[in-house]
Every structure is written in C-alpha cells, then in structure tokens.
Structure 1
C-alpha cells in the first residue's frame, strides 16, 4: 500500500510539498500540485480523511445550500462550486432549501452535525436564522435582509441584479415598447426586491409606469410563473412586452403563451433574467440577461478559502450580460390596442 513518502519520491518533491499538495494545508506551486496528484493517482494513494480530521480538527468539507436544485441556475452554480472546491482538495455537501427558511434551518443543522469547515449559501428570505457564527460563511447570489449594524453578515458574491434588470427595460424601451409587464420573484428575497425595483425605476426614468394588472409574482418557480403569466395574458389589453424575473418563470410564461395561443415575438415580446441553453434553441430564441455562473461559483469558493485561512473577504459584484436574440422583433404599434378575444 502506497504511503505519502512513496508519492513524494515518485513526484520528485519533498515530503512537505507532497503533504501540502494532497491536503491543501499550505502553499504549493500549481506545477508541483499536478505532479503530486498524478503520482498519487498512479500509485493509488488516498488521504486518510478520518485520521487527518482527528489531528487537525478539519474535515475538508464545504456545505453548499441552494434555494432549489431543480432550477438550472443553481444546478450549474453547484457544479462550478463543486469543481472549484475539488481543486482546493475539498468535498462539497449540497443541500436544498426548497425556497424556504424551514428548509434552510434543516440544512444548516445537518451541516453542523457533519462538521463542515465552511459554508456557501443562498440565504432564504434574506434570513440569518440558523447560520452558525463559528463556521466561516459566504453568501452567493442573494444577500441578507438584516439592517442591524451589530449583526455581522457574511461576505456576498452576487450579480449586479439592478443593472441587469435595467438593461432589459432599456432594451425594450429602445425597441419602442411603452407597455411592459413583469413577473417578479418573491420580494422576501434580495434578488426579487432588487429586480422589481430596477424595473419600476428604469421605466420611470423613461417617463413610463407599469400597469398594475401587468404585474404578478411567480416566486422563481415555473408553475407559479405560468399562473402569473396567465393572469397577465387574460387582461383585456395585453402589454406589448413581458419580463420574466428568472429563467424558471420564463419557462412558465412560455407554457402560458402556448395555452392562450399567444405567439412570442409576434403577439408579445418576452425577455428573461437568467439564461438557459434551451432559450437559444426555441423559436424564437429568447432575449435574456445572463449571469456569469462560472464567475460566481469560483469567486464564492475563493472567498471562502480566504475566510478559512483567517483572512478577510469582501463583497464581490459581477456584471450581467445582455444577450439579444429574436423574441423582441414584434412591432409595438400593431399591439398597442391588442385585445383578448
């Protein structure tokens, strides 16, 4: 059975370098790390995690709390975080909050019992409920709603949700739309609040106001997005454009349009916050604002590594990218008086 000395000798490095490369316990060059990992693979060497945990009080595990594992955005984010954490020699334990504080509390208790070294979390309803003060934590995508200056909040890695939504509104206005509807996520979340606020304020900058009947909540889930879209589609006068507050609610809006025989890109324009590979393939392809999921995941892990090393991590905000496709080719003047039959 191979030992760490065998790995060091095979890789041509010192015992200390091999140990640091395999355990992530200290600095080591990327070239040396690759040599050591390759040697360990060839020799079939495995780090004894249980024994190491007893010696160092570390488990090399990270807890990852996401809002809804069924949402492709969070699935991709979890993939990036898992892949990035592995480069640091860490294993990720992922749990689903199901968009609820109760789910969050259950997951945090489990992470505590598992003895994770750190947490990366999408906070539910902005709540700090259940987050252990003794475990380094980084928030990703959403922020805490706590306004108490005495309460220390974790560093946040997120997209510029405000500017991303403002981009969508500006694009629609530039295309001639003045009657725009919105399917919003829950206002209990920072993303829902910020995106709605950005839509309303950007419309106001152009002298426009959203009709009350053209606004509905979809709670970041496709079925609720469908119900919200039906509410808007069933109004006597359709808006000429509709913004879905995330990709799942956009899927719901697409389904609702099928049910009401409304043609996207002809009868109404549809845009979304968040992208999906399928949005490029449907007819017409959907115009979106996309988040840098790769960047979010990598930055979240890097921030947590700083905390685990006893260093400070600051908030990081990444830009959203406007991706123009073909779902807004509608001629607004044809629809300004469109009425449901």
Structure 2
C-alpha cells in the first residue's frame, strides 16, 4: 500500500500543498474551514509527517545529545535521568552516549550526535585537554558542560557543583576526631574535577597544619578497580593512614572492598569518607560519610540552560556553581588511642 504524501492530503482536502504545510507546522494564515478539511484528510488517509524532513525544514530536530563519562557511576546515572526529565518536559528527546572515560569513544559519540543534527549537546568531558572538544565547542551546535569542563573553552557555560567547602568541612571533621595521618585516593590530574578535589583536600589539611606526604596520595581513574588497588597500597605502608578520603563513589566502592578483604574495621581501625554520595552509602554498616552534590538539580539546570541557548540562538553565561554538602555518618570515628 502506497504511503500517503503531502500531495495526497492536499488533493483529498482540496487545498494546496502549501496550505497543508502551514497546518502541519501550526502557522497562521489558514482559515478554520481549510484547517479542518486538512485535518480530516490526514485522518482518513492515515498520513504521518516525515520527522526528518520536517526537522530539516524547521532547522530543528527537537533532540538533545548527552555524553557522560561513565554510565555505571551512580552520579552520572542520576544526572542523566534529571536531564531526560527536563528535556521531556520541554518537548525534547534525548540521545545518550557513554564515553566510559575514553576520549576516543567520546569523540565517536560526538560525531554521531552531530550527524544526527541534535539541537544541542550536554557534555561531561573524559579529559580536560582533549583537542577534539575544542572543535565541537567552536561549532554551530550549542554546548553546555556538565560537572566537568575543558582547558581553553572559557566561553562555554558550565553547570557544576563546588565541593571545596564540603571537603574543608570533612577535613575539619577528621582533625576534630584527632586524625593527623590523612590520605586521599584522588582522581586523575587530566580531569578538572580530579585536580580540584585533590587541591581542596591538600589545602584544607595545610590550613590545619597537616602536610600530606606523597605516599598518602594515590591516583586512581575514577573506576572501582583503581580504588581497590590504591587502598591496598595505603594499607601496605609501614605506617598506614588513620583516615582515607576517596574522590568519587566508584573508587570508594573499590576501597571498601580492599578494607573488607584486609579485615580492617571502619571506623575503629580506619576512618573513611567519599566524594559523591549515593543511596546505598546510608545502608552500609557503618554508613559512609560523603560529600553530596545536588545531582538532580545539576542535570535539570544544565538541560534548561541548553534549551534556553537553543531558543535564544546565542550563548550565555553558566550559573554560579551549586554548593555541595558534607553528610556525616558513622564511617568516621576518633583516632585509636596511642596513634599519632
């Protein structure tokens, strides 16, 4: 059976194809009688507009692209859900790409999104120094960075949380419990959020007269396996730390596995905290102290900002960073008696 076309609808309704197009696009200048005849003809013929062709005519696909760095990270999972909800509320569909912390995979997804002619892109970069991203942010498609940004793209808005004050509160909490041997499982230096969390931790310790030696700084890649390996190395030191801060939730999960394997009790033998709170942190025994970002608010704000840029056809300044909060639970306790 032949698929009905705009010409078929026009012939059936006794109007021009231009009139049918005006009815389909919701434009004014069509009498009520003609509009009703066109709608009736569409119903009788079972006509369905070609979405791709219509998007080319209207210069819009009503589609957003979202490329996140790791879909298995609960933080990004919740962010993606918030983006999708806000996009749907505004009448946009969402195409999701998981870069898996791999710049090459990230570049591949970005090329696909551009080929799909998405109206805008939300991006959490896998690295802060990837050259392929500069080409994307300098193109015709609006871009908003989410959680992370890149070097050399100062004009691109960023929606993110500022965790420095919360990290400072964490260090204050730990030192108040008597801890002086503080360690961190940091994210990679190549990612801005990795650098920022490390600097915040070191600065907070320095303000309290604590110098963190190099052997107490272990670098991971924001994956569970790197947290496992880092914690094993910390526990193997001749003088292990009394408190450890993991710079994201997946590395925290690996670190907790290492502590379980070694039979090290939390918080009796070591205090532990994580950046990025997740629901199951509160269910563990003991529940985990964590820096909580306003995850859903970040996703919704980023999507709303991108849609505003699409509608206004111009770039805009990103909002001020949202504040992260320290959630104190039972995983941090007083330093053991006799330990300095």
Q: TM-score range by the shorter chain?
A: 0.7 to 0.9
The 8 Å contact of residues 165 and 199 in structure 1, kept in 2 or not, is answered as yes
Measure the CA separation in 1 of the matches of 2:50 and 2:164. 46
Q: Equivalences for 1:1-341 in 2 at 5 Å?
A: 49-127=51-129, 129-131=131-133, 132=136, 133-146=139-152, 153-309=155-311, 310-316=313-319, 317-329=321-333, 331-334=334-337, 336=339
**Range 234-243 or range 310-319, more displaced:** 310-319
The offset of 1:48, in angstroms, is: 5.5
**SS in structure 1 of the partner of residue 95 of structure 2:** strand
**SS in structure 2 of the partner of residue 95 of structure 1:** strand
Measure the CA separation in 2 of the matches of 1:19 and 1:275. 45
Measure the CA separation in 1 of the matches of 2:184 and 2:245. 5
The offset of 1:93, in angstroms, is: 0.5
Alignment size in residue pairs: 295
With normalisation by structure 2, the TM-score equals 0.81
Measure the CA separation in 2 of the matches of 1:276 and 1:184. 18
**SS in structure 1 of the partner of residue 65 of structure 2:** strand
The 8 Å contact of residues 103 and 130 in structure 2, kept in 1 or not, is answered as no
The 8 Å contact of residues 267 and 335 in structure 1, kept in 2 or not, is answered as no
Measure the CA separation in 1 of the matches of 2:206 and 2:83. 38
CA change 1:170–1:315 in 2 (3 A) is farther
**SS in structure 2 of the partner of residue 191 of structure 1:** helix
Larger radius of gyration: 2
Measure the CA separation in 2 of the matches of 1:126 and 1:152. 12
**SS in structure 2 of the partner of residue 208 of structure 1:** coil
Measure the CA separation in 2 of the matches of 1:240 and 1:273. 18
The 8 Å contact of residues 63 and 116 in structure 1, kept in 2 or not, is answered as yes
Measure the CA separation in 1 of the matches of 2:106 and 2:131. 8
The offset of 1:55, in angstroms, is: 2.0
Measure the CA separation in 1 of the matches of 2:110 and 2:300. 22
With normalisation by structure 1, the TM-score equals 0.81
Query: Structure 1 stretches (4+) deviating beyond 6 angstroms?
Result: none
The offset of 1:174, in angstroms, is: 2.1
The 8 Å contact of residues 129 and 190 in structure 2, kept in 1 or not, is answered as no
RMSD, matched Cα: 2.3
**Structure 2: runs of 5+ lacking an equivalent:** 1-21, 27-46
The offset of 1:336, in angstroms, is: 1.8
The offset of 1:281, in angstroms, is: 0.5
Measure the CA separation in 2 of the matches of 1:283 and 1:59. 48
1:39 alignment partner in structure 2? none
**SS in structure 2 of the partner of residue 265 of structure 1:** coil
CA change 1:57–1:103 in 2 (3 A) is same
